[in-house]
Amino acid sequence: MLSDRELKQKWFDYFQKHGFKKISGYSIIPESDTGVLFTTAGMHPLVPYLLGEKHPAGNKIVNIQKCLRTSDIDEVGDNSHLTCFEMLGCWTLGECDKCAMIRLSYDFITKELKIDKNKVAVSVFAGDENAPRDEEAAKAWKENGIDKVFFLPKENNWWSISGGEGPCGPDTEMFLIKDKPDCSKDCSPACDCGKYVEFWNDVFMEYLVKKQGEKPVKLDRPNIDTGMGLERTLMVINGYDSVYEIGGLKRGIEFVKQKSKVFDERASRIIVDHIRAATFVLGDEKGVVPSNLGQGYILRRLIRRSVNYARKLQLEEGALLELADMFVEEYCLDYPELAKKREFVKDELAKEMQKFSKAIEGGYKEFEKVLSGIERHKQFAAKTGEIVKDIISGKAAFRLYDTFGFPLELTKEMAKERGYQVDEEGFNQEFKHHQDISRTATVGTFKGGLADSSEQTIKYHTACHLLLAGLRKLDPETKQKGSNLTAERLRFDFSFPRKLEKSELEFLEKFVNDAIAKKLPVSCAEMSLDDAKKSGAVGSFENKYGEKVKVYTIGDVSKEICGGPHVENTGVLGIFKITKEESSSAGVRRIKAILE
């Protein structure tokens, strides 16, 4: 049996021996707006380098990356799905020697992992209108002695970041062949009968999709991106039935079982996965806290879902915090930031759990009331012939969300267990209605990990750029010192030596409103930090490695280095109104403003 520690060691030793430089993993929270809420693969933080920027460590690198994917959250609890996982990755930047990488992969599989080559199958890209059939990769595998090579279409063997934009290309996936008969005459790694279990992926990043929906174009400097899911691989090579037999996950499950009164395998697994994920997110150097927006909302959902399952298992009080502490201990060797943030992780978890626990009993009661209401309605309707469906109304689901803090997905899950559905559209309408009235913060999406800044927040973001441009008319030295955006207002901190005059505030309002009235286009360009500075863009977010930056230009009014996102045209912003000007700290003033 290979332990997680041993596999990590082998990974580094092997690739370092072959000239790859070890770098540390990146934050689980992406650098700026990269289109996703969390780092979902090792290649993610490396996109600037995959697009040609020079990496300080050279062009062959190897690391281990903490990742979070939420697209399969409903599957968590089965044998193989996790939200949070570790990815062993290595890259050749600006170089795509397929034969060499396949040779390295083959040797790692057969010599280091000691897997019998007859038990290995691979898939390669079958080709389509955009890219040719990958005969080169197939030939390389065959030359190494792998004869089970399957040509599969784009759905299986084309890798891109979710959404399709960015560097991408054909890949070759590696599978362990399980000892079981073919499910049909067409049985292949493309079917999910369980005969073929994927554990490794080499992506030949030869293409770039510049904009979602566009055709891929050839990259001048192609790369190879290879990624191996740690947990999945250990499960496969050790012949485990589930990923919960591995290291920290296993200890987590044992702990939960020991501390709970009721036994339920799936619930225990969900708790272990979610608390581990929450520990990684809170314990990240850029740790976010639970909220109703984007990353914070996902974190909130992970924690609240764990609390819900802990209640089912009658888990001892405080056990979830102890579990988080265990995970800090378990992983701090590889991710030292966890140890530094141990108290923060526990405090934030405790706060969120407390918030939810206060409302949870009331919420369950409310939920039961809603269900009995439906049943009563059904009995009554039986007499009149009216048909009543087992659907919880959007209004009721919204009340559970708004008053009792039940994320929609949790209500849906509880409803499903009892054979009911939730009117999601109705919920969204209620939500929007409520938002229109009170302009409360918005709920983020929990699908696919795509960033979901609310429309209103994005508008405020663009308004901040206009405001800064206006402030720089008052004093060209003015710099942004911080900002905080919600769906209800913007808060903008900037360097300024004194209180602003009433006339100056009026000037700013007029300046921003004029830019809105002119319906100016907002455009974005990517360039190196140097070029951005030369172009006259303002921005205080200097990057450590001189990566590519995005520059947002608003007509002839503003040019700023910024991750985005922004509206496409200032015309959609509405009317800009300053509601407050105050001191923030010495030499820093604060403006609060709304869009009406």
Catalog residues that contact ligand SER under the rule CB under 6 A.
41-43, 89, 159, 201, 203, 225-227
For 549, the enclosing helix (H) or strand (E) is: strand 548-554
What 3-state DSSP class applies to 71? coil
Q: Which residues contact 501 (CB under 8 A, 6 or more apart)?
A: none
Identity of the residue, 196 or 327, whose beta carbon is nearer to ligand SER in the bound complex: 196
From the centroid of its chain, how far is CA 290? 15
Identity of the residue, 164 or 574, whose beta carbon is nearer to ligand SER in the bound complex: 164
Q: Which residues contact 111 (CB under 8 A, 6 or more apart)?
A: none
Identity of the residue, 4 or 225, whose beta carbon is nearer to ligand SER in the bound complex: 225
What 3-state DSSP class applies to 24? coil
Minimum CB separation from ligand SER for residue 43, in Å?
Answer: 4
Place of tokens 């942004």: 480
Q: Which residues contact 385 (CB under 8 A, 6 or more apart)?
A: none
Minimum CB separation from ligand SER for residue 338, in Å?
Answer: 23
Identity of the residue, 161 or 392, whose beta carbon is nearer to ligand SER in the bound complex: 161
Identity of the residue, 122 or 267, whose beta carbon is nearer to ligand SER in the bound complex: 122
Minimum CB separation from ligand SER for residue 226, in Å?
Answer: 6
CA distance 32 to 29: 9
In degrees to the nearest 10, what's the CA dihedral of 423, 429, 434, 440? 90
Residue whose C-beta lies closest to ligand SER: 227
Identity of the residue, 200 or 494, whose beta carbon is nearer to ligand SER in the bound complex: 200
For 421, the enclosing helix (H) or strand (E) is: strand 421-422
Contacts from 249-252 at CB under 8 Å and sequence distance 24+? Answer: 249/273, 249/276, 251/326, 251/330, 252/276, 252/323, 252/326, 252/327
Name the region of 399 (left: φ>0; alpha: ψ -120 to 50; beta: rest). alpha
Minimum CB separation from ligand SER for residue 170, in Å?
Answer: 12
DSSP symbol at 36: B
Identity of the residue, 152 or 490, whose beta carbon is nearer to ligand SER in the bound complex: 152
Tokens of 296: 């914070």
Q: Tell me the residue type at 398.
A: F
Identity of the residue, 28 or 578, whose beta carbon is nearer to ligand SER in the bound complex: 28
Beta strand 60-68 pairing with 84-92: antiparallel
Minimum CB separation from ligand SER for residue 161, in Å?
Answer: 8
Minimum CB separation from ligand SER for residue 133, in Å?
Answer: 21
Minimum CB separation from ligand SER for residue 273, in Å?
Answer: 19
Minimum CB separation from ligand SER for residue 41, in Å?
Answer: 4
CB atoms within 10 A of CB 334: 15
Identity of the residue, 233 or 457, whose beta carbon is nearer to ligand SER in the bound complex: 233
Closest CA to 231 of 209, 194, 279, 199: 199
